[in-house]
Structure 1
């Protein structure tokens, strides 16, 4: 069994390399916590290149659609890469299909990532959490920490990139995308998506057929 590695240490390595969280954790465990050895290991495996590619222009890619069984949930998502050649690769096409399915399975998700969440939404969540009865009698510094933690959790729920991948819950969608960046060698960006739910926003009426027939007879 590998040594215990703190989440902060994993986050630090990820910030340096751009590799996925699970890859960083595994590399640190294999290197007995030595961050330099972990960086070297990730580079050898080709997993430390995602951050270097993150600034590259992405103007190619695919628009993927997914209709769930029963045709009551539908998704369209645009995922960009750098070249049309990569857009045609099966690995990229598999990624787009997996992400479309992920969106269909994540009804709480509204934004690509936390950076895309408008500030007014964040402030609203802070107001909601600050007004909850279960923290009103706690010291102010404790309230601040509780609200911060709850808001962060809520923002994670709204962010597609922070969702656990439905086919491998040990990684997030961000980790999945970074793995494909390392594999394919191009920048990949989820640009936008829309999720359709049949009848969403419409009032559903259960018709009373006897009343309907009576009305037709009277007219």
Structure 2
């Protein structure tokens, strides 16, 4: 695998408008060949998606998904630029898939990693730095390990970073980018809410045998 320089990544980013990490991945996948990396980004829908990021997406759909048995429900809002695209079956299918994805990922709490509160990440870092398995390691090594753990935790909480349930080879973010390339508009997952039956209600645990005995006057 080619050694990818920061300069090469910067040049590809300027050429395609894609993010730094996407550019770096594209170059690694294509052994540092810029032209092949551009093509790779286009095939993934990343280059065209990046160029649309500055546009306003105020149309779209609010979709619901109720899991079998009615114990888990999801509401999700996904935006696009025009009502025309919002009515297309490809867009509707995407929104349904995202609602189903939220239902399938109980640990996901935010749309993307940037939405995670900084104070929460600081608290996580403080907890990780104090863990016993790192106590004997030098501070600089501990810092690197903790940053890796925090990054992993961020991705666990982020919807867009999840492997797509219908195709584990891509993330939800890549799925969205593919639809951007297909439909020609900016698409963004704005928000979601998951409802779990009985969540937050304090349940009184009881022993059925004792209840029967009590009612029968035996206790």
TM over 0.5: yes
Structure 1 residue 162 corresponds to structure 2 residue 161: yes
**8 Å contact kept, 1:22–1:170:** no
Find the aligned partners of 2:18 and 2:94 in 1 and give their Cα distance: 18
Shift in alpha-carbon separation, 1:24–1:86, aligned structure 2, 3 A? farther
Structure 1 residue 5, shift from structure 2 partner: 6.5
Give the paired residue count.
211
**Cα distance in structure 2, aligned partners of 1:78 and 1:8:** 39
Q: How far apart, in 1, do the equivalents of 2:27 and 2:145 lie?
A: 32
Unaligned runs of 5+ in 2: none
> What does 1:1-219 correspond to in 2, within 5 Å?
4=1, 12=9, 16-18=16-18, 29=29, 33-40=32-39, 42-43=41-42, 48-208=47-207, 211=211, 214=214
Say whether the 8 Å CA contact 1:5–1:28 is kept in structure 2.
yes
Distance 1:174 1:83, change over 3 A: same
Root-mean-square deviation over aligned CA pairs: 3.1
Structure 1 alignment gaps of length 5 or more: none
- Relative to structure 1, the CA distance from residue 22 to residue 115 in structure 2 (aligned partners, 3 Å threshold; closer, same or farther) is closer
CA contact (8 A) 1:104 1:195 kept: yes
TM-score (norm 1): 0.83
Query: What TM-score do the two structures reach when normalised by structure 2?
Result: 0.83
Distance 2:95 2:4 in 1: 29
